[in-house]
């Protein structure tokens, strides 16, 4: 069970169309995986409306992206025709349709909208698509300390929820929440270099809402070392 068709519906209805680069992603790339030299290849998993494309274009990297939404990829090909051959529709938990190996793979809160099993399968494929010492940066993988963790309906496994009718997860299908132990198990084939947890509590209006998520930097190592 991979891509949630609810996302295609969200994009078709003109919602979740973020167009500005995510500040955490920009910061993590520049701090921990700054592109160097020609031919630096970047794959974005779940690129959505292409918020991060302008950022990577300014870096002069070879940018590739995959998203499960045919609606959004069609729109991106119209907006960035020069990237048309590097933008693919597909379920990234089942297949990565590029033959290239990548120096950097980035994900801002896309892989985390899947079940544990699908995330494991996705990470296994991404590991195979990374060059040795290549890095994967994950931004905003939702935490079990998020207020909405207890509000959804448990499906498939204890970390995967659905059934949200309001809030940021309304009508988007599966949402995965992780604690540290769970993440370390998911990342067991990588070297975890950075694992940071953030919490943002809403003071006004007083609804006791807490946004909580993980930012990670993991690296593919040559096991022969």
Whether the model clears a pTM of 0.85, i.e. scores above it, the answer is yes
Taking only the tens place, the pLDDT of each residue in 86-142 is 999 999 999 999 999 999 999 999 999 999 999 999 999 999 999 999 999 999 999
Q: Where does 5-142+180-204+215-219 sit in CATH, by number?
A: 3.40.50.150
Kindly list the averaged pLDDT for each block of 10 residues, start to end, along the chain of length 225: 54 59 96 92 95 96 95 94 97 96 97 96 98 97 97 94 91 94 98 98 94 98 65
What is the distance between the alpha carbons of residues 177 and 184, in angstroms, rounded to a whole number?
13
Asked if residues 104 and 137 have their Cβ atoms less than 8 Å apart, the reply is yes
Give me the half-sphere count of Cα atoms (radius 13 Å) on the Cβ side of residue 211. Answer: 8
Domain boundaries, the chain: 5-142+180-204+215-219
């Amino acid at each position: 069970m991979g891509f949630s068709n609810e996302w295609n519906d969200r994009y078709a209805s003109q919602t979740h169309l973020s167009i500005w680069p995510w500040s955490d992603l920009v910061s993590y790339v520049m701090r921990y995986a700054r592109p160097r030299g020609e031919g630096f290849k970047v794959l974005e998993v779940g690129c959505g409306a292409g918020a991060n494309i302008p950022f990577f274009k300014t870096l002069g990297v070879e940018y590739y992206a995959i998203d499960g939404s045919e609606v959004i990829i069609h729109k991106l090909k119209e907006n960035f025709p020069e990237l048309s051959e590097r933008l693919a529709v597909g379920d990234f938990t089942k297949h990565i349709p590029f033959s290239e190996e990548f120096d950097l793979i980035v994900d801002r809160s896309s892989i985390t909208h899947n079940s544990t099993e699908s995330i494991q399968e996705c990470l296994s494929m991404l590991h195979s698509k990374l060059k040795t010492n290549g890095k994967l940066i994950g931004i905003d993988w939702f935490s079990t300390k998020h207020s909405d963790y207890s509000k959804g309906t448990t499906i498939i496994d204890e970390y995967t929820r659905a059934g949200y009718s309001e809030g940021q997860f309304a009508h988007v299908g599966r949402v995965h929440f992780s604690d540290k132990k769970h993440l370390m198990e998911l990342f067991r084939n990588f070297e975890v270099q950075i694992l940071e947890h953030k919490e943002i509590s809403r003071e006004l209006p007083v609804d006791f809402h807490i946004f909580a998520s993980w930012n990670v930097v993991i690296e593919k190592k040559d096991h022969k070392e």
